[in-house]
Structure 1
Amino acid sequence: MPRPSRKAFDDHPDLFASAVAPAGGLKRRFLGWERPLVQSVVAHLAADWQGSGALDVSDWLIVVPTRHAGRRLREALAVHAATGDAAVLPPMTVTPDFLTSPDRMENTQVAGKIETLLLWASQLLKLDLEEYRNLFPVDPVERNFGWALKMTGDLLQVRENLNENGLSLGDVARMLASSEMEPERWADLGRLEQRCLRAAGDEGYTDWQVARRKAAAEGVLPATVKRILVAGVLDPSALAITALERHSRSLPVEVLVFAPQDTHGHCFDLWGRPIVESWLQRPIYIPNPESTIHQGGTPAEQAVLTTELLAPYGPRPGTIASLGVADTEVVAPLVKTLDEKDIGAYDPAGRPMSTHGVFHLLRLLSRLCGTRSFAVAAELVRCPDVADTILSIAKEQGISSHLTTLLRELDDLAAEALPDTLDDAIELAPRVLKSKEQSPVLVGFQWLARALKALEGDNFGTALTRFLADVFAARPFRLDIPQDAVFAEIANQIAEVLDVLESPVAELPKETLTAAGRLELLLRMLEEQMYYPERTERDIDLQGWLELLWEDAAHLIVTGLNDGKVPESIMAHQFLPDSVRRVLGLRNNDTRFARDACLMTSIIQLRERTGGRVDFIFGRTGAADEPLRPSRLLFQCADEELPARTLQFFQKPETLSEPMPWQLAWRLQPPPLEDDAGVFQKLSVTQFRDYLTCPFRFYLKHGLRMREVDVGSTEMDAMEFGSLMHHVLEKFAKESPAATSEDPHVIRAEFNQLLDSRLYATFGQRLTVPVMIQSEAARMRLSWWAEKEAEERAKGWRIVTAETPLSPEADPWKISDMIVSGVVDRVERHEEHGIRLIDFKTHSPSTALGGDRKHVEEYHLARIKRTESEEDFPPWMLTQNSLGETVRWTNLQLPLYRLAMERHHAGEKIHTAYANLGKTKADVSLDSWLDLEGRLLESARTCADGIVTSIRGRAFWPPTEKLTYGDDFGHLFFGDPQMAVDPSLISSTTREEASASPVV
């Protein structure tokens, strides 16, 4: 039977308002804006109910735009029935997709989303790309299952968009064959679609989209359905309308339009869809725009503004006011802000399963399968359930451990060995951790390695189930707890995917469908799923834009009203740009605009007639600080109003409340040191330098032993690189026959052998790329130093010893009764020049004033700055340099070496030197400090005495405000340690005094 013509509808709109259309069972009714849509629909459904007995509407099939609209309708029907103290036999409420679901087809085995993904991905991997060059002009960088899965997802999304109008890729290829819209590429797409449809048929499946078109044309409704009502659906797909039109031949079908017929009857088509031409230029009346349209800045600022607008309604605003969220970026900050006001929030759209912890766990497992990366394995170990499982396995093996031990060992392994893969970590853990018994970290990595091997085996499903069972074995589950109920939903989805993976559909080569590929498929399926937490009585709904038509609250607040969100923008698409959509009759930017203009008009006009109010909030920047524009709908006003509204939108928004000056919530209050703390018993030569740099940071680093561990590093830091070089030079001096050689080639070969041995012992057989680059840098520096070694041997310098401790346990050396520790890198002797104490440095010499290289003296002494005076420093810190200038001590390393070694070389000439092993050959040098003697040396001893006295007197305050070099603790102070730290307990002398005050 032919559809009514557009002209007949335009000439006689009242024909379709209450009378049966020529199609026979199709009727359209306008509801007006005098009361909310949900109330009007309820009144329509209950028109024949006498108020006694059950309200029976169970034979109705009601088509609504969203799940939430269906819930609102069922609630409203129950409330209406309760007015007569009666029950309600509810209707079946569905969304338009129900009408075209393959479930409407009987005796048809339809390929689900998982089967379809696998079928298409397998065909993409089998394609001869030369035959599809219009579709794949360039070969993919890596043609694997991951590529095929992503490409399949894109193509299936195109098919889904086309199918809203009942079109296939082949249909579009024929429609565009003579156009200028890339017909060759569409022809390739059509051929690919036919290939995949044949593959599905060979497996006994009907394609999902084909089944949807058949459902629209032949689908069967439940036997209980006697009549159909389409209520407030502004944009049903053409495919859904095809189904409705067919059902209208045998069942009464009514379309309810939420608008008055007298003024807007000509603005809607027969199916209740806004007619584009009627809405593109139609002004939208917004009452009092200067006070009802607000700028919200960032998503967080929009959330704050929303709660301020809700404030007059108290802790239960949901009875009077309601929220609409057009931009999902506003949801998270809005939930947080409402929670701070003790207002619950419920998102009817549900939450993606991708936000659940199980999804995160599976994503890490997928990445680990694909890369065997140590960083991913470490992240997996830090998951609470995984960590508990590892500790449980360790306990079964007789290894007692705690979570802190596990995490500390993980950090130590990452920082010291820099493993790149899980296998590197398993190899290096015994060397780095050196535990007497097997460490929990090693147990955990071995368990992960076994799990990966099982997943790559013949029974992926069993292996994955076993892994998840191990991880969650100790966790109790209760289905009445919302988070636990989600576990059940995820478990069902996992089981469904595993069933498909074990079917003939998944028969891909093992090298193609790897464990990582199977997990990627599983994640893709889970990512598309939503779960719906329970709504509590106090919650306020955070409704999406399309659900606002069903909202009946007097005060409606809509956030995120930005262009691209409302009206929803159909951005440029590689296959379906807006121009192609228009040609194919698909939803496009104009139809979206018409729909959203109609919806906005309706929610405003309802409250205008019923004494309510609508507030609109738009943002200026997004979550990533990207600039945003106000919605075009906000500019859809009369021409004379446009200049004032534009000025209003682009002026600086008023601050709703005076911002508080920024301040710390609390000050850090470090505890006092114990009387027997290590820094009161022994100091290393480098600790003297740290105290001179900053006494407070010395206290944190050496008193409290605070340090930052970089567990994400992929290369050696400066200290680790220096330790590598020192190890090679120590072994060379102590054990190598080449230590006496004057041949640089012999010395260089020995350095290379010692370097390779150390690298293998520390990092294993396979070096990461960053460590390999650093090892070659070390090799080059040692090669340059080999020439210097040979030159010094030729001059008569002989190595006496290396790594000489200043304070051996049997004979400690002290200053002011404080043991001073340290190690002299090398001691050399010359028959004429005496003893030379060498300290190896791997930095390149810095540039001093005047552009010259800094001399070793300048690494120990600093000039007084113009902003400083001598009175700013204690007398013991000041001295005279070799030029007779007043300077201050910044480092006592070589002076302390010199003083300590006098007792081992009495009567001999002693001088000190830095051996610089810098980045360039010019930076490799020997820098002797011949002036370190007499008064200067005694000044160094006086300075050391002063430091010891100050430390014992607990003089750890005030801190140095700005350091010349990196500050390991700077991020704790927010730029101002004086403001961030309360030092009142630092100078406490007993633990009893500390316990009398709270410590943060």
Structure 2
Amino acid sequence: MPVEITSFLFSKPYGTAVVDWLLERMEELPQVLILVPTAQSGRRLRQGLAERGALLAPRVATTGTLMQVDGLAADSVEVLAWTEALESVNDWEDYKAIFPESPESDGAGWALGLAKAFVEVRKSLQENGLMVGEAARRVRVLEQDRWEQLARLEREVENHLESWGCESKSARLAAGDIEIPEGVSRVVVAGVLDLPPVLTRFFEKNEIMVNVLVPDPRVDEWGRPGLDWNENEIRWPRSGSVTLTGDPGQQATLAVAKVIEAESECDDVGLGTADEQVAAELVRSFARAGWVVHDPGASLPSSLVGWLSCWRRFLQNPGVKEVVDMLAFDQGESLVEGIRSLQVEALSSLLDSHLVRDLSDVERAHQLILDSLESTNSESKRKRLDHQLELALIAERVMADFSGLRKRFLSQGFHQGMRSLAGRIDRNDEAGLLSWLDETAGAAQEVKRPPVFWIELLLQDLGPVPEQAPDERVLDVQGWLELLHDPAKHLVVCGMNEGYVPGRSSSDTWLPESAREALGLPREKSRAARDAYLLHALLEMRSENGRVDLIVGKTSQAGDVLNPSRLLLTAKGERLGRVVEQLFAEVEPSDSGVAWSLEPHWKWNPRKKSPKERMSVTAFS
């Protein structure tokens, strides 16, 4: 089926124009699948449709979600397969191009880290539907030996997965087997400026209508800006500003000042940055100004990750220190009875007084305290020993409880043992622990690994927990790719620095820019072209009836010097000179107003006294 490009020519904000286009086809919406760049873009699009009365909503997905086919091997299972393949290598001479020296010399756990890295390489290749074997043929002139040896390892991985009854995502995408939700007759590409080649080939082969909605028609047939955008001059905002300031905190303070200066209402403001440090500062600065702002990308460390790390150490060494560490987390309290603070106090007291290491030491300390109590006649000493005895009983009980828990866990095996703990350490399955156990259960029946290994594998998949959005929030901090869908008249964009806009080039040693070009994968030039197109669109949409303030940082939170984004340096001739002078000017750091000299009453004023002229030898001490 043909691909239709629709350009809105900056007649209105892109997000508004997309909603209008969809509402003109309201009856078809249940059969429409809309592809958006991020989940936050999809949320904003659905919100816009709901506010305009679209009762029958379309299906909205990111490109990553569409490429995630059900029933395939999970990432953790693929990491396990790579680990098995690496550990089964007998002669590393066969893989000398990849490993000049045997990786086994790196110590315990060497294979798990390498396996994770190779899984990430395969994920990158999935954008063009490539297996490592096909990639080796395409980059033959670059690093033939390395890629061919990696392809040999990949075949071993695929054999392991097949023997476990699994199929890899790479193999499925290489076959072009992508599943469109049932009932979908039209796909709308809304704001995805770098549609993966594996999806474009799939759409070309299948009888499905594709509409690509873009703000500017200067794109290819799939809405992707060409590399010529790297040569285009991008005019600075007609209404608004480009301002250089200091660290992330100063950027956030300036963003608040720009909103106040423009007297913009919260409904008319769009706030965005590609720098996570600036995002956190924006939340704090706007809160001080009375606006509740939420960063959807913000997350909190998972307490389950911390507890599992302690539990892994306790399985290896059931000591007192390990139990104290576990009790520092909420999960520790849910597993054994008693008051957690008293248990920590009891164990810490015995650590200090009797240097206990494990349960047997605690039991001996308990007996020593009893013996001392029987032999003492001092009332004060008896009171002290009574308190120690009380703490010893608590310590012995909690150590016995955790030791019993450990014994049952090891006897049940990792998966069954973890399922028995799941309801207490991951209530409501917030971290997805039960789902992970289901995904790896089949492979666990075929592979014999100790519980410590499975916990290490699990920890690699447990990420931070997203922060909950406050009910009273008035603004969200948008990511760079999400700003295209923001219909706000006043746009404030922070973090306009190289490395963020455009994003950093890949540091993957397997996929340098030359290899990415040969493999048809996104590379630095294509990302820069995409971001140049996006910035041009954001500015043009608000050139007549809006305002854009771009804020450039001078330093990071750690004090590292940042450079302005190349997208702000596209001017020509004398104008470029003025731009460089403005964007590379000196900026006072945020602490420049702090007086580092001590106030008089804090200064040391030694007594003024004449020194002794004579001293006896014995006067020295």
| Residue equivalent to 2:295 | 347
Letter in 2 for 1:334: L
1:649 aligns with one of 583, 599, 604: 583
More helix per residue: 1 or 2? 2
Give the AA of the match of 1:100: M
Q: In 1, Cα distance between the equivalents of 2:184 and 2:202? A: 14
* Residues 270 and 639 of structure 1, relative CA distance in 2, 3 Å threshold: same
Q: What's the CA shift for 1:470?
A: 5.7
Is 1:208 paired with 2:169?
yes
Q: Distance in 2 between matches of 1:594 and 1:424?
A: 66
Q: Sequence identity, in percent?
A: 27
Distance 2:469 2:115 in 1: 35
Could you tell me whether the CA contact under 8 Å between 1:317 and 1:540 is conserved in 2?
no
Q: Paired residue for 1:549, among 464, 484, 491?
A: 484
Contact kept? 1:110, 1:206, Cα under 8 Å: yes
Residue 251 of structure 1 corresponds to which residue in structure 2? 208
Counterparts of 1:315-354 in structure 2, within 5 Å, are: 317-349=265-297, 351-352=298-299
1:451 aligns with 2:405: yes
Which among 564, 569, 578 is matched to residue 630 of structure 1?
A: 564
Shift of 1:63: 1.5
Whether the 8 Å CA contact 2:37–2:191 is kept in 1: the answer is: yes
Counterpart amino acid of residue 227 in structure 1? R
Write out aligned runs for 1:341-740 (5 A): 341-349=289-297, 351-352=298-299, 355-369=301-315, 377-384=323-330, 386=332, 392-393=337-338, 403=341, 405-413=342-350, 426=362, 430=366, 435-437=388-390, 438-467=392-421, 487-490=427-430, 493-509=432-448, 513-527=449-463, 531=466, 533-534=468-469, 536-610=471-545, 612-653=546-587, 659=593
Q: Answer whether contact 2:127 2:196 (CA < 8 A) is retained.
A: yes
1:89 aligns with 2:35: no
Distance 1:881 1:341, change over 3 A: same
Query: Which residue identity lines up with residue 36 of structure 1 in the other structure?
Result: P
Match for 1:292 among 241, 247, 267? 241
CA distance in 2: counterparts of 1:649 and 1:607, whole angstroms: 23
Q: Which amino acid aligns with 1:111?
A: A
Matched, 1:224 2:169: no
Q: 2:198 aligns with which of 239, 250, 274?
A: 239
1:547 maps to amino acid? E
Contact 1:110 1:207 in 2 (8 A): yes
Amino acid at match of 1:639: G
Letter of the aligned partner of 1:95 in structure 2?
Answer: T
SS of residue paired to 1:565: coil
Q: CA–CA distance in 2 between the matches of 1:402 and 1:371?
A: 21
User: Does residue 176 in structure 1 map to residue 111 in structure 2?
Assistant: no
Cα deviation, residue 59, structure 1: 1.7
Against the structure 1 CA distance between its residues 235 and 388, is the aligned structure 2 distance closer, same or farther, given a 3 Å change threshold? closer
Residues 1:603 and 1:356: Cα distance change in structure 2 (over 3 Å): same
Query: How far, CA to CA, are the matches of 1:866 and 1:335 in structure 2?
Result: 45
Query: For 1:646, what is the secondary structure of its paired residue?
Result: helix
In structure 2, runs of 5+ residues without a counterpart are 370-383, 599-603
Checking the alignment, whether the CA contact within 8 Å between 1:567 and 1:596 is kept in structure 2 is yes
- Counterpart residue type for residue 457 of structure 1: S
Q: Return 196-205 or 438-447, whichever deviates more.
A: 438-447
Contact 1:117 1:152 in 2 (8 A): yes
Q: How does 1:869-908 map to 2 (within 5 A)?
A: 869=608, 882-883=616-617
The aligned counterpart of 1:125 is 87
Matches within 5 A, 1:776-925: 868-869=607-608, 882-883=616-617
Q: 3-state DSSP class of the match of 1:29?
A: strand
Tell whether the 8 Å contact from 1:567 to 1:593 is kept in structure 2 after alignment: yes
Report the counterpart of residue 376 of structure 2 in structure 1: none
8 Å CA contact 1:226, 1:251 repeated in 2: yes
* TM-score (normalised: structure 2): 0.85
Change (3 A) 1:563 1:448: farther
Q: Does 1:80 align with 2:52?
A: yes
Distance between the aligned counterparts of 1:455 and 1:602, measured in 2? Answer: 58
CA shift for structure 1 position 25: 2.5
Would the aligned equivalents of 1:31 and 1:40 in 2 still touch at CA under 8 Å?
yes
**Cα distance in structure 2, aligned partners of 1:356 and 1:373:** 24
Check the 8 A contact 2:246/2:588 in 1, yes or no. Answer: no
Q: Deviations over 1:967-997 (max 9, x none)?
A: xxxxxxxxxxxxxxxxxxxxxxxxxxxxxxx
The aligned amino acid for 2:586 is: K
Quote the residue 1:34 is aligned against. Answer: 11
Match of 1:279 in 2: 229
CA deviation after TM superposition for structure 1 residue 151, in Å = 1.3
**2:83 and 2:397 mapped to 1: Cα distance?**
38
Q: Distance in 1 between matches of 2:245 and 2:359?
A: 51
Q: What is the Cα deviation at residue 348 of structure 1?
A: 3.5
> Residue in 2 aligned with 1:189?
150
Amino acid at match of 1:642: L
Query: Match of 1:58, SS?
Result: helix
Query: Which entry has the higher C-alpha Rg, 1 or 2?
Result: 1
CA change 1:281–1:370 in 2 (3 A) is: farther
1:452-486 superposed Cα distances (whole Å, 9 cap, x missing partner): 444433422343344455668xxxxxxxxxxxxxx
Does the CA-based 8 Å contact 2:270-2:488 persist in structure 1?
yes
User: Higher relative contact order at CA 8 Å, sep ≥6: structure 1 or structure 2?
Assistant: 2
Question: What is the Cα deviation at residue 319 of structure 1?
Answer: 0.6
Distance 1:306 1:866 in 2: 46
- Tell me, yes or no, if the aligned pair for 2:81 and 2:161 is still in contact at 8 Å: yes
Paired residues in the alignment total: 598
Following superposition, the deviation at residue 292 of structure 1 comes to: 2.0
Residue identity in the other structure for 2:567: L
Distance apart, 1:222 and its partner CA: 3.0
- Residues 192/606 of structure 1: CA separation in 2 closer, same or farther (3 Å cut): same
How far off its partner does 1:544 sit?
0.7
Letter aligned with residue 428 of structure 2: A
Secondary structure, aligned partner of 2:544: helix
Q: Compute the displacement of 1:516 (Å).
A: 2.1
CA distance in 1, matches of 2:532, 2:319: 51
Shift of 1:77: 1.8
Shift in alpha-carbon separation, 1:563–1:414, aligned structure 2, 3 A: farther
> SS of 2:193's equivalent?
coil
Distance 1:402 1:362, change over 3 A: closer
Cα distance in structure 2, aligned partners of 1:436 and 1:272: 75
Residue pair 2:249, 2:281 contacting (<8 A) in 1 also: yes
Residues 328-383 of structure 1: per-residue CA shift (max 9 Å, x gap): 1223333233333342223344x55x623233322332344456676554332223
- SS of 1:171's equivalent in the other structure is helix
For the structure 1 residues 102 and 402, does the alpha-carbon distance in structure 2 shift closer, same or farther, using more than 3 Å as the test? closer
Match of 1:113 among 69, 75, 78: 75
Cα deviation 1:147-185 (Å, max 9, x = unaligned):
3222111101111111211211101222233x1x32111
**Structure 1 residues 239 and 470, CA gap change in structure 2 (3 angstroms):** closer
Give the Cα separation in 1 of the matches to 2:512 and 2:358: 45
Native 8 Å contact 2:77 2:443 kept in 1: no
Q: From the superposition, tell whether residues 146 and 609 of structure 1 become closer, same or farther in structure 2 (CA, over 3 Å).
A: farther
Secondary structure in 2 aligned to 1:615? Answer: strand
Q: Select between 198-207 and 455-464 the one with higher mean Cα deviation.
A: 455-464
> Is residue 259 of structure 2 the alignment partner of residue 310 of structure 1?
yes
Q: Secondary structure at the match of 1:609?
A: coil
Does the 8 Å CA contact 1:406/1:440 hold for their aligned counterparts? yes
For residue 46 of structure 1, the aligned residue among 23, 27, 42 is 23
Matched, 1:269 2:220: yes
Return closer, same or farther for 1:452/1:578 CA change in 2, 3 Å cut-off: farther
Query: Contact 2:5 / 2:221 at 8 angstroms: preserved in 1?
Result: yes
Task: Classify the secondary structure of the residue corresponding to 1:27.
Answer: strand
Over 3 Å counting, the alpha-carbon distance change for 1:633 and 1:411 in structure 2 is farther
